[in-house]
Every structure is written in structure tokens, then in C-alpha cells.
Structure 1
Amino acid sequence: MKLNIIHTNDLHGHLENWPIIKQYLNLQKQFFIEKRAPFLLVDIGDALDTVHPMVEATEGMIMVDLFNEVGYDVVTIGNNEGLNFTNNQLSYLYSQSRYEVALANLLDSRTYNYPKWASSIVYRDFEDLRIALIGLTAPYATYTLNQYELIDPYDALEQQLRSIQNSSRNVDVVIVLSHLGLKDDRLIAAKYPQIDLIIGGHTHHVLQDGEVVKQATIAAAGRYGEYVGLIELEIPDKQIGKLWRKTKRRIDINCHLATIEQLRDLTEIPISDSYELRGRQMLKSQKLAELPHLYTANRSEGENSFIQLALDAICDKTSTTLGVLSTGLFLSDLPKGIVTQNDLHEALPHSMHLIVMTFRGEHLIEMVEEMKSQEEDLRHRLINGMGFRGKIFGEIIFRGIEFNSKTQEWYAEGKAIVADRTYRVAAVDHYWFVPFFSTIATYGSPELLFPDFLRHIVSNYIQNKYPITTVGKD
């Protein structure tokens, strides 16, 4: 028997490619239906990303609707779903889905059971053929802030493999939907001979023809819908229905990737910004505040400085007087007059939460000097990932921290920093995750604030400080 699997991963809300992908998926499914060939459509996570205005405006529902429309069968989640949407938001989204969610290494911390919207293993039957799909997501410690309890993915996988082995029903094929990254996928393939296929994501790797590690095949389709994958599994009929734990299996697996350019030529559908335009219109309808003047992204000082406004906002939110942000976060200005959610989303599209760091004075000085020592290198350094959706890191701007050239000392709150005094500093979690500032993890005891992103913090701040008073609020 031949089983066909179409797979996507790490779409990150890149809906400009979706009309092409949708048409291709429909064509493939229709072909398999006409041939009476069994097939599955799966996604490996990070489909929902609020960097896209339509995802932001609909709180993720647009992706669920699109996946329902084309008929996905099984998905797992990535860190963008698990950490950028609250537990309740994700629960509602998947209550509206017509596909199953496989997720073996995340529990609801309120019940210590799997979330109601997920199954540790999803089984699918095709006549006498039975397959098991196990979902694993990247184990970020910050999941605990979203009312989840993490299970080590290897422990979770071993538990599910034992469950399959002890089951009274035979399983012919074991597939892992892995949002762990290529390094872990290779380790899993080498360690667990029970696994036939790993379909991966998270690290945005492209495996054009798949990769074989021992008995397992690893597949992946890059990022952003730039590729769509097709996997063909050929299982000998005489092998189907035999006890999986006792049979020496032979499964032929072939992997193929189609580029979005190839799919565009095939479907004759252009790349489209229609979803972005609709999302922008929805966000523009959400009026927030009425600013007395322009706040400029490229000014680091003065009353017209956007970064200074943001420092006001994060210090107000965290009840601190000290803060740090970088100019590369600010992608556009905030206009004078009525400001909308769209203005904030365009300017601060990043998936970044706030952190509050607590330092002894001597360690605060060490952190500041660590940042200043890299200032010139980081000013124009291209940055990608870790929640960042801009281009360059930019200039580091401190609030309440400065160097006194006369005394040759670092000052905080207008006074020389005292070595054994405690100081609290507000920032974004991005600085904790990037590999530049080791003092944050070593000495800062960072506390992450969930669930609001930086743009939501700024939005709430300007709504309170500059409420709409003109007819523009209608």
C-alpha cells in the first residue's frame, strides 16, 4: 500500500503565498481522491504568527479557518502557537478546528492532563494499515507562564512509544511531527529504531529529498510557505497488520519538495497581499489614542523620540525607573493625532514580551559594560529570529543609567551605582535569548511578563496617557 503525506511547516503567517498553496493542496487532494490513494495533510507548527496583520486582527482565527477550508488532518504546535497566544485563546482556536492536534510533551498545568484540544498520539487507519502520529514541540521554559507544564520531549516520546508497543492493536507506521529542529530530529532518528518517519520544523531547514538516519527518514519544508512537501510511503501488503514490535519492517519512503515558484507556475495563481490588506484595514479600525505630536523612530532622544516613549511605557508597566531598549525595534513612526492598532503593529511587529531583571550593583555595571562593549558591532548587525521581526539590532538606549565622565563611574537614578545594592531593570525578552548578553541569564534573574507583547504595552500606555478627545474617535 502507498500512503501519501503532504506537509507544511513554519508558515509564520506568510499568507502572501497561501492562495498558491491552497490551490496546490486542493489539486493534490483531488488527484489522490480520484486515484483512491490514501493521503494525509499535516502541519508541523508555527503556522500562527501575529507578525501578519490578519493573524493579529483575528487573534489567529484566520489560520484555523484556512486550515479547515483545505482540510488539514493533523497538526502539532510550535512555540509561536504555544507562547504567543494565551492558553485560553489557543483552547478556543482549536475548539473551532476540524483537524486533530498531536502533542505529547505539553500538559495543562491546571489539570496535569493533556490540553482538551490535543492528543498525545493521533491514530489514523487506512483499510488494514494503521499509523501513529506523535507530536513534539520545542521545550521553552517560558511555557510555564502560559499555564502549561513541560515534559522533556525525549521522555514524552519514549512514553508514547511504550504505549504503542503495549497496545493490543497493531501499528504499522510510526511518524513523529517534530517542532524541535533538525539537530534533535537526527538524534531521535538515531536513538529510536521504532520510528519510521520524522517530519520536522522549527529551525527552518530544507531537506529537498529527505535525509535518512539509520532506519528513519527525516523530511522538512523550510519556512514561510516557500516550499510544500510530499512524502510517499510504500508499505508491503504482506507486512501490514503484522505485530509492529516483532516485525522487521521495510518501508520505502520518498520525499519531494516543491518551491513556491514551481507551484505558482503550476497553479497560475500570483502571490497576493490581499490578506495583509484586509488585516491592515481591520487593525486601522481599532483607534487607540490621540498623540499631541509625531513620535519618530529614528530619534533616540527628546520628546519626539519613539524609543523614549516606549521606555516610559515599559518602566510604567514594570514599576521600574531603569530600562533598556534598542533602536532596531522601531520600524516606523507614530503619527500625530489618531493612532490605531495598525500603526503599532507596523512599528512593533515583534513577538517580544517584557522582562524585569534584578541585579546587584556590581553585576548591573557588568551588564551595562557588556552591552556598551558591543555597541558598534550591534548597531548595524543583521538580526533574525528570537521574536525579532526587523532587520538590524540598532543602538542601545538606557533609561536612568548613564556614565559620569567626571567621576568615571556608572550612575543609576542620578547616583553612583552601589556594588551591593539591588537594581531592577526593564527590557524585552529578546535580549535574554540572543547570544550577546550572557550577564542577563547569569546575574539578572530575569522575570518574564506574560502575555502582552511590547506593542501591547505601548498601546495600553498611550491609551491612558493620550485618550481620544476629538471626533476622530467615531
Structure 2
Amino acid sequence: MTMIAGKTETIHIYHTNDIHSHFDNWPGISEFLLAQRMEHDQAGEACYVFDLGDFVDRSHPFTEATTGKGNIELLNRAKYDAVTIGNNEGITLSHEALEELYTDAQFRVVVSNLKNRDGRELEWAVPYTCFTSHTGVKLGVIGATAVYELFYSKLDWLIQEPRQLLADLASELKNTVDCVICLSHLGVNEDRLLATETSDIEVILGAHTHHLFVCGEMVEDTLLAATGKFGQYVGHVTLSLEDGQVVEKKAAVIPADDLKAGAQEVEGIQQMITEGTDQLDEEVFTAPLPLRQNLFGDSPLSDFFGRALLAYTKADCGLFNAGIFLGSLRQGIVTKRDLHRILPHPINACVVTVKGRALRDYYEISCHPDWPRTEVRGLGFRGTVMGAMIHVNLKMIDDVLYIDGKIVDPEAEYKLATLDMFTFGFFYPNMKFEKIDYLVPELIRDIVGWSGHENFGTTS
């Protein structure tokens, strides 16, 4: 390599993952990263800062209002060097919004397994990139994101299985760089498999499954590092090289609670977030009556959403949980901020084509008495408990299932409108095997807004 013979070089890598627009600790993280870069520069040591995806999450009103571009400005301010995308960047934004997300980015976006639908390489990202320190150490950086094929294809992207792509890239880069780092939004199991399948990657910085490695994890000769979720930690990987060879690598995490920002940094970021969020104060429709929620049964809000869901999807019946509503809508003007407040989830509606006998099974599962108070984690859900299951046009009378007053034929096909989180196999194990049509990029709050505007209009 081009490194000065006999010289020892230390490279510092700082990394974050799965922030999910949780900004409570961000001022401290941002100021810490800037200070560390300055300190390492003064010491003559190379320093790089990476994010592993899901930095953008539309559950935060700032992210929703700025379509994620406000998040990119936060990364710019903290002087990130490169990022990969997570599923929140990849499948909760429209095709056009993702193409435009990184327009003003002052860092490189690295993702190897996503392309345009026709196979063309992305204009806003690269499959790999390289950095060279002032002493000549060359760092190759590759990246990939989790595969959600049905969602990506509906959004007009081509997503590919990543591990072989990453192994091939690492093998190619190994001939021209001193070490290869992988920015992975694949999850811990995929990272471990990748580490066993190639010896060409020195470090895998991980994300997606919100795992935390306090001191890293060695798999074969590869160091895995990860910082959990929500900006609770910042990761720090230290590489020591001699004559172009990595001789030592260590991983550690710094608790973000220990990182205190100055008043100027806190005020500057808060002002950015406030100004961005104010864009949500746009009228969507005028509600003639209050639409109140009820976690444990039917409500005016669930009735309204149920009608909206069937009208939008043109399905025969519907099924969703009352816990998706995190508040009520008052009578009068309803704004984008109001809709986001009660439905912050990055959840899509979908239409599942099912036989009548399967529909009966799903109905019976939905009636389990433990469900209303079941706590839900992940799957895009941003509430706390499941709440009662709401049935739309679907009713059981004397052990006979009816759709809109007609007996369900066990062999006939029906279209069931529901939420994408129910199709992932956790609540209804067999539903993931049905024919599913995901409605993207619109989220469930967009369907409420559409229905309210169609039925009630606005005051303007």
C-alpha cells in the first residue's frame, strides 16, 4: 500500500444506527462528534463518522414535515462522512422523495443492493466508496440495506440479496485498499453470516435489529459493532495498522446521556426542529363532529377509519387494531399535524386476498381476549398496546361469519383490507403466505386525510 513503511497508523471510526428521529440526545451526539474529529485531527489521526440507516423516521413531526431533509441537515452539521440507508429511508418514502432525500447531503450514501427498477445504478448513492488518510491509509467502505422486496418493487426499486454482493465487493476492494468496512442495515444474524462467508471485511458496523455490542463481537476475524437504538449510544471503533496491515481492532460505546451539549448547540437544533415542524400546520379537512378514540372497543374514530379504509382499498371487509390511534380529533379544522399526532406510524394499508375459511381463522384469532392489552414493539407500530381488534363489514353470528350481511363461503375469495404489520407473521402466522397488495407510499394517516377531504372538505 501507499502507507509510509514502518509507520503505525490509528484510525478512529464513530458510528450511529437506528436513531429513528429520536433527537433528545442528538445535540450532545453532534457536539461530541465534532469535538472528537477536531481532537483526532490535531493528533494527526484519521477520523471517520458513519450512520447505518433508519436515521429518518416519519413518526417524528420534524421528519414528516421536511420529508426527511431536515434529518439530512442534522447529519451535515455533525460532519458525517458516509451513511447507508435503512428501511425507514427506503420504503416509507415515495420513490421521488427518496431520490431527492440526499440532494443536499455533504456526505456519501453507500448502498450496494439497491438499484433503479431497470437495473441502472442509483444517481444519489454508490455501491462503495474509498477514503484516504493524510498518511496514505486507504479505507474501503461498502454498504447494504435490508431486503423488503414487495415494498421496494411496489415503489419501483430493485432490491437484491446483499451478502454475496458485499463479499464480492470486499474481495475486489481488498486489492486496492488497506481495510474494508461494511455499513450494514441487515440485522445481526445477516452480519454474522457475512462475517463467516468472507475474510475480506475487517469491521461490520451493524443496525436494523437494534442490537448493542458494548465491546463489539468477533466472528471469525471480523469485528462486529453496533449501538442499539434511538441514539442511546455512540460507537467508537479503533483500528491500528502497521505497514498497511490491521494489527489490532477494538470496539466500544459511549452512553449518549453522558454527552452534554452547549446551550448554543441545543438551541440551534431545537430551532431547526420547531421551524421544520411548523410546516405541518396545513388544513386537510373540517370535521363536522369530534372523532374520539377508544382503545378497547369501537369508537367514532375507528368507524370513520374503517369506512375510509374500505373506500380507499375497495375491499370487501377490514381488520385493524384500535391501538393505532394515539389520540382523538376535535370538531373543526384538522391539520396535517393533527393527523400525524394521532397516527404517527410509518404503516401502510394492504389488501389481502383470502379464502373464506382463512378469513374465518383470522377473525377468530382477532377475538383473543388477551390482545387488547398486549404490548407491541416494532413492526412500524408507534403506540403502546394493541387495543381491541376492529372488524369492518365482518361479523360472527351464531358461529356463522358474515360479510355485509352475507354468509362467507369457505371456498370463495374475499379481499381483506388491513395493516401491513399484520402480514409479517407475528400475529397471524399464515397471513404472510396470502396474496398481498401493499398500498405504498401512502401511509394510513394519508388515507384518513383523503377520506376527510373527500367527505367534508375544508373551510378555505
Match for residue 329 of structure 2 among 310, 329, 334: 334
Q: CA deviation at 1:88?
A: 1.6
- Answer whether contact 1:361 1:421 (CA < 8 A) is retained: yes
1:96-135 residue pairs with structure 2 within 5 A? 96-110=104-118, 112-126=119-133, 127-135=135-143
Distance verdict in 2 for CA 1:119–1:269, change over 3 Å: closer
User: Does residue 2 of the first structure (1) align with residue 10 of the second (2)?
Assistant: yes
Match for residue 287 of structure 1 among 283, 291, 294: 283
User: Does residue 316 of the first structure (1) align with residue 311 of the second (2)?
Assistant: yes
- Answer whether contact 2:424 2:431 (CA < 8 A) is retained: no
1:263-282 residue pairs with structure 2 within 5 A? 263-264=259-260, 277-282=274-279
- Answer whether contact 1:300 1:307 (CA < 8 A) is retained: no
TM-score, normalised relative to structure 2: 0.93
Moved more, 183-192 or 258-267: 258-267
User: Does residue 384 of the first structure (1) align with residue 374 of the second (2)?
Assistant: no
Q: CA deviation at 1:173?
A: 0.3
Query: What letter matches 1:298 in structure 2?
Result: N
Hey, what's the Cα distance between the residues in 1 that align with 2:31 and 2:263? 7
Hey, what's the Cα distance between the residues in 2 that align with 1:286 and 1:207? 43
- Answer whether contact 2:28 2:261 (CA < 8 A) is retained: no
- Answer whether contact 2:25 2:257 (CA < 8 A) is retained: no
Q: CA deviation at 1:113?
A: 2.2
Q: CA deviation at 1:161?
A: 2.6
Q: CA deviation at 1:371?
A: 2.3
Instruction: In structure 1, list runs of 5 or more residues that go unmatched.
Output: 241-248
Counterpart for residue 300 of structure 2: 305
**Could you report, residue by residue, the CA deviation over 1:38-84 in whole angstroms, capped at 9, with x for unpaired residues?**
11110000001011100000000101111112211110000000001
Distance verdict in 2 for CA 1:17–1:397, change over 3 Å: same
User: Does residue 356 of the first structure (1) align with residue 347 of the second (2)?
Assistant: no
Instruction: In structure 2, list runs of 5 or more residues that go unmatched.
Output: 1-8
Hey, what's the Cα distance between the residues in 1 that align with 2:25 and 2:75? 14
- Answer whether contact 2:179 2:246 (CA < 8 A) is retained: no
Counterpart for residue 4 of structure 2: none
Hey, what's the Cα distance between the residues in 2 that align with 1:265 and 1:122? 31
Counterpart for residue 250 of structure 2: 254
**Could you report, residue by residue, the CA deviation over 1:287-343 in whole angstroms, capped at 9, with x for unpaired residues?**
1111111101117777x6111111111111111241111111011001100011111
Distance verdict in 2 for CA 1:437–1:23, change over 3 Å: same
Counterpart for residue 400 of structure 1: 393
Counterpart for residue 159 of structure 2: 150
Counterpart for residue 182 of structure 1: 188
**Could you report, residue by residue, the CA deviation over 1:395-429 in whole angstroms, capped at 9, with x for unpaired residues?**
11111110112xx3111120111122221111110
Query: What letter matches 1:151 in structure 2?
Result: Q
1:13-32 residue pairs with structure 2 within 5 A? 13-32=21-40
Match for residue 436 of structure 2 among 446, 454, 461: 446
Query: What letter matches 1:99 in structure 2?
Result: F
User: Does residue 234 of the first structure (1) align with residue 244 of the second (2)?
Assistant: no
Match for residue 455 of structure 1 among 445, 454, 460: 445
Hey, what's the Cα distance between the residues in 1 that align with 2:437 and 2:109? 30
Hey, what's the Cα distance between the residues in 2 that align with 1:158 and 1:151? 14
1:77-96 residue pairs with structure 2 within 5 A? 77-96=85-104
Hey, what's the Cα distance between the residues in 1 that align with 2:130 and 2:263? 32
Hey, what's the Cα distance between the residues in 2 that align with 1:295 and 1:266? 43
Hey, what's the Cα distance between the residues in 2 that align with 1:425 and 1:308? 16
Q: Report the aligned-residue RMSD.
A: 2.0
Hey, what's the Cα distance between the residues in 1 that align with 2:352 and 2:277? 35
- Answer whether contact 2:173 2:180 (CA < 8 A) is retained: no
Hey, what's the Cα distance between the residues in 1 that align with 2:38 and 2:285? 50
User: Does residue 347 of the first structure (1) align with residue 362 of the second (2)?
Assistant: no
Hey, what's the Cα distance between the residues in 1 that align with 2:78 and 2:261? 20
Query: What letter matches 1:118 in structure 2?
Result: A
Say how many residue pairs are matched.
Answer: 449
Counterpart for residue 160 of structure 1: 169
Query: What letter matches 1:11 in structure 2?
Result: I
Q: CA deviation at 1:200?
A: 0.6
- Answer whether contact 1:411 1:417 (CA < 8 A) is retained: yes
Hey, what's the Cα distance between the residues in 2 that align with 1:301 and 1:371? 13
Hey, what's the Cα distance between the residues in 2 that align with 1:74 and 1:385? 26
**Could you report, residue by residue, the CA deviation over 1:85-111 in whole angstroms, capped at 9, with x for unpaired residues?**
12221111212211111111111113x
Query: What letter matches 2:83 in structure 1?
Result: V
**Could you report, residue by residue, the CA deviation over 1:235-283 in whole angstroms, capped at 9, with x for unpaired residues?**
01x2x2xxxxxxxx54311212111211128999879866664454331
User: Does residue 369 of the first structure (1) align with residue 364 of the second (2)?
Assistant: yes
Q: Hey, which bits of structure 1, 4+ residues long, moved more than 4 A? A: 265-280, 299-302
Hey, what's the Cα distance between the residues in 2 that align with 1:52 and 1:299? 22
Hey, what's the Cα distance between the residues in 1 that align with 2:362 and 2:381? 21
User: Does residue 410 of the first structure (1) align with residue 407 of the second (2)?
Assistant: no
Query: What letter matches 1:316 in structure 2?
Result: A
Query: What letter matches 2:234 in structure 1?
Result: V
Hey, what's the Cα distance between the residues in 1 that align with 2:458 and 2:448? 15
Counterpart for residue 412 of structure 2: 421
Match for residue 75 of structure 2 among 43, 67, 74: 67
- Answer whether contact 1:23 1:267 (CA < 8 A) is retained: no
- Answer whether contact 1:15 1:276 (CA < 8 A) is retained: no
